[in-house]
Amino acid sequence: MNSLDATFKMSDLKMPRTISKLHFGTAGIPNSTPRKSTPNGVRRVWELGLDAMEIEFVRGVRMSSEIAEEVRSIANGLGVLLTVHAPYYINLNSSDNSKVEASINRILESARIGFRAGAWSVVFHSGYYGSFTSDEAYRRVRDAIKVIVLRLRDEGIDIWIRPELMGGTSEIGSLEEVIKLTEDIGDNVLPCIDFAHLHARTNGKYNTYEEFREVLNMLENRLGKEALQNMHIHISGIEYGEKGEIKHLNLKESDFNYQDLAKTLKEYNVKGVVISESPNLEEDAILFKQAYEKIKT
């Protein structure tokens, strides 16, 4: 579906622009879901004691209007916060302009159907540096995201646009870049902070309580308190090397210091959503949620 049809009224949706707490959930349908489908995944998330799910459009935006409306109804009824991950095949910095336009359209399609499903936020990978300098690549990605923001605004679609902090050094999306994109574009743009990616991209740094505080202080100082009250966070274990991310791991199979991350998020009263991208999905979502809830303030 490329656009909202005429029978669908924007007034039918109430977007939660400000989130009242920190939600915890899975990147896609939980592994333990019987008869896997997005509606069943939302139900399973709730059964597991979680309250968020990221709809994964990783290989294409394939969800009908009817299913999107069913998902919205179920999620609203159960109090499950939804987010969307746009397809992986996106490169807003391709030297081929047709691929840039196709990438823009994939993000637009994800936002449109995600909004219809009641999603609060849509995250995407910005692309690769390729033969461009980091400054050139940044400008090209920034200009493409501006197009996305303006088109969605014209269509009345109110959803957070989230360039993701990426784990590979060849990928556009350093901590500085995702923060600067928000500074330069403004409305409806905030970063998706993937703490495992940051750890991998810096070859083992950003894995202590002090370093996690540094990230949150940077977000608050440069983007304002709103950034901490509306965070879209990814977590997982991760294997990495000199060029950054190699693959995702389960938390307990990696060196990622999730306990101190939970402590920092609690200390700063961060609100929004934490999505587990570990291979075991719901197990690490539950593990992290329990670690967070055990912390006394």
State how far the Cα of 273 lies from the Cα of 185, in Å rounded to an integer: 22
State how far the Cα of 108 lies from the Cα of 159, in Å rounded to an integer: 11
pLDDT of 17 reads 58
Average pLDDT over residues 134-142: 97
Q: Residue 2 pLDDT more than 50?
A: no
pLDDT of 6 reads 33
State how far the Cα of 66 lies from the Cα of 29, in Å rounded to an integer: 18
Q: Which fold is adopted by the domain 17-294?
A: TIM Barrel (3.20.20)
Lowest average pLDDT, out of 66-70, 74-78, 133-137, 185-189, goes to: 185-189
* 128 CB neighbour count, 10 Å cutoff: 18
DSSP state of 233: E
Which residue type sits at 200? A
Average pLDDT over residues 145-160: 96
Q: CB-based burial of residue 139 (10 Å sphere; 0-12 exposed, 13-18 middle, 19+ buried)?
A: middle
pTM over 0.75: yes
Q: Are 288 and 235 in contact (CB under 8 A)?
A: yes
Q: Residue 13 pLDDT more than 50?
A: no
61, 141, 168 from 239: Cα distances, Å: 29, 27, 11
pLDDT of 171 reads 97
pLDDT of 58 reads 84
Q: Residue 88 pLDDT more than 70?
A: yes
Q: In the chain, where are the structural domains located?
A: 17-294
Q: Are 111 and 4 in contact (CB under 8 A)?
A: no
pLDDT in tens, 194-248: 999 999 999 999 999 999 999 999 999 999 999 999 999 999 999 999 999 999 9
Per-residue buried b or exposed e for 44-83, using 16+ beta carbons within 10 Å of the residue's own CB: bbbebebbbbbbbbeeebebeeebbebbbebbeeeebbbb
Strands (E), 69-209: 81-85, 121-124, 160-163, 192-194
Sorting pLDDT into bands at 50, 70 and 90, what band is 9? very low
pLDDT of 8 reads 34
pLDDT in tens, 274-286: 999 999 999 999 9
State how far the Cα of 184 lies from the Cα of 80, in Å rounded to an integer: 31
Average pLDDT, whole number, for the chain? Answer: 93
